[in-house]
Amino acid sequence: MNKILQEQFFVDDLSDDQKTVITNINDYIKQGLKGDTASVAVIEGAAGTGKSVVLMELVRQYMTDRHYRTSLVVNHPELYKAYRDLAESIPNMKASEIRRPTSLINYAQKNHKKYDIIFVDEAHLLYSKSEPYAHYRGQNQLTDLMALAKVVVVVYDFDQVFQSKMYWDRPLLDKTIGNHPHKQFNMNFQYRMVASDEQVDWMDDLTAEKPLKPFPDNSDFEFKMFDTAGELFENIKKRNKEVGMSRVVATSGFPRIDGRHNVEMDSFSLPWDEWDPQRTHWAKREGSITQVGTIYTLQGFDLNYVGMIIGPSFGYDKATDTMTIIPEKYSHKEIFKKRKDMKFSRDEYKDFIANVLNVLMKRGKYGLYLTAYDDDLRQRLLELGQETK
């Protein structure tokens, strides 16, 4: 089995909290398999709480047992590649039973297939509206999946919602589940990062536009502020040589210069990540050290160190001493697509953009290197970085 993927998704030393969640979901699945209507198990937790680890333990248990008709779906192309890689290395597990949700729904409806259990990772990426361009003509993918299985196990993090076509919040989830039996399993413990709770709170407060403060220095998690993206990149390259899986990431908003749509700042200029049909996911490819990662290649994956460039759509308000979010400067227009059944306010679009930054900052297990495109924001963060020392 691929060592990097194995370390991320399968661990030998599950925490007591994770073991308890797995036991409780197991009991719920067995109860649901006896029912006459679809049951839904909702695994909820923030980024880094080990939701995918818990899910994959359940997947390995049920999807290697031929007594059950099962499938694992994920609407993230890089995670889809990773899970199919894992499946090929797990005895009695078939990679063909891992699908994108649209593929599974269309296949099952056409061939009148039914399942005992469908597992859904990153369920906040399920379409909550019709998306004909992506060959999905239903109205809600969770609704369609519930019609196909006795039990649906879904992983949700509402703070990882960043597109209107994949919009989810608690009321919409409750409305979609409706009268189906359901139970929520909360994971409110940090698993990925070695950062302390206070350090995670600092990241949350930053993206929530709360007053800035020094980064807490109370764990082995390494935090560094940089005045230039070029220097940040040199340090990430050094970490990548030492421990691997270290990458530069950025939020949207960087302007096109001379026809190039690169991330360009001071001496730094690298292209954005690119979708690639090869099986190896972006973060693991050696060549990705010379590209800038985004939410589309990194959501759901761990890095060892992340070099975060906060893009032009984030500024600084001296009066409130807060980082500000400026939707008008966010250049990735997919976020702002309209839909007929609901309208989004400027504040809700700001939440989408904040979620992208929050998720990317939390990709690194052992450290976060940070800089910002906006001069005032960068200088204020540098000042606070000096106070941390």
Q: Is residue 9 scored above 70 in pLDDT?
A: no
Cα–Cα distances in Å, from 136 out to 104, 121, 131, 143? 11, 18, 5, 13
Q: Is residue 6 scored above 60 in pLDDT?
A: no
**311-364: pLDDT as tens digits:** 999 999 999 999 999 999 998 777 788 888 889 999 999 999 999 999 999 999
Does residue 56 lie within any of the structural domains? yes
The pLDDT score that the predictor gives to residue 50 is 79
Q: Is residue 5 scored above 80 in pLDDT?
A: no
Does residue 192 lie within any of the structural domains? no
Average pLDDT, the chain: 90
Q: Are residues 166 and 306 in the same domain?
A: no
Q: What mean pLDDT comes out for the span 129-149? A: 94
Does residue 284 lie within any of the structural domains? yes
Q: Is residue 388 scored above 70 in pLDDT?
A: no
Does residue 313 lie within any of the structural domains? yes
DSSP 8-state assignment for residue 364: E
Does residue 203 lie within any of the structural domains? yes
Q: Are residues 282 and 357 in the same domain?
A: yes
> What is the band of 4 on the pLDDT scale with cuts at 50, 70, 90?
low
The domain that holds 18 is classified in CATH as 3.40.50.300
Q: Are residues 97 and 232 in the same domain?
A: no
* pTM, entire model: 0.83
Single residue among 166, 187, 208 that ends a domain in this structure = 187
For 255, the domain range is 197-388
Q: Are residues 210 and 118 in the same domain?
A: no
Q: In the structure encoding, which two tokens stand for residue 387, read together?
A: 């106070």
Total count of residues recorded for the chain:
389
> What is the band of 261 on the pLDDT scale with cuts at 50, 70, 90?
confident
Question: Averaging pLDDT over each range in 8-17, 52-61, 99-108, 192-201, which range is the top one?
Answer: 99-108
Identify whether the C-beta of residue 203 lies closer than 8 Å to the C-beta of residue 192.
no
Q: Are residues 204 and 132 in the same domain?
A: no
C-alpha to C-alpha distance for 166 and 41, rounded to whole angstroms? 20
Q: Beta strand 314-317 with 322-325: parallel, antiparallel or unpaired?
A: antiparallel
Q: Are residues 102 and 76 in the same domain?
A: yes
**How far, in whole angstroms, is CA 262 from its chain's centroid?**
23
DSSP 8-state assignment for residue 75: S
Single residue among 152, 187, 222 that ends a domain in this structure = 187
Q: Tell the residue number behind the tokens 């993090």, with chain if given.
A: 157
Does residue 252 lie within any of the structural domains? yes
**284-315: pLDDT as tens digits:** 888 899 999 998 888 778 899 999 999 999 99
The pLDDT score that the predictor gives to residue 279 is 64
Does residue 269 lie within any of the structural domains? yes
Q: Are residues 180 and 205 in the same domain?
A: no
Q: Which amino acid is at 352?
A: F
Q: Are residues 159 and 293 in the same domain?
A: no
Question: Averaging pLDDT over each range in 67-76, 159-168, 190-199, 271-280, which range is the top one?
Answer: 67-76
Of the ranges 127-131, 162-166, 385-389, which one carries the lowest mean pLDDT score?
A: 385-389
Q: Are residues 215 and 338 in the same domain?
A: yes
Q: Are residues 160 and 248 in the same domain?
A: no
Does residue 110 lie within any of the structural domains? yes
Q: In the structure encoding, which two tokens stand for residue 111, read together?
A: 């061939």
Q: Is residue 198 scored above 70 in pLDDT?
A: yes
Q: Are residues 279 and 304 in the same domain?
A: yes
C-alpha to C-alpha distance for 43 and 388, rounded to whole angstroms? 36
Single residue among 187, 221, 255 that ends a domain in this structure = 187
For the chain, the domain total comes to 2
The pLDDT score that the predictor gives to residue 1 is 42
Q: Are residues 158 and 33 in the same domain?
A: yes
The pLDDT score that the predictor gives to residue 277 is 59
3-state SS class at 367:
strand
Closest CA to 51 of 377, 327, 359: 359
Q: What mean pLDDT comes out for the span 9-16? A: 70
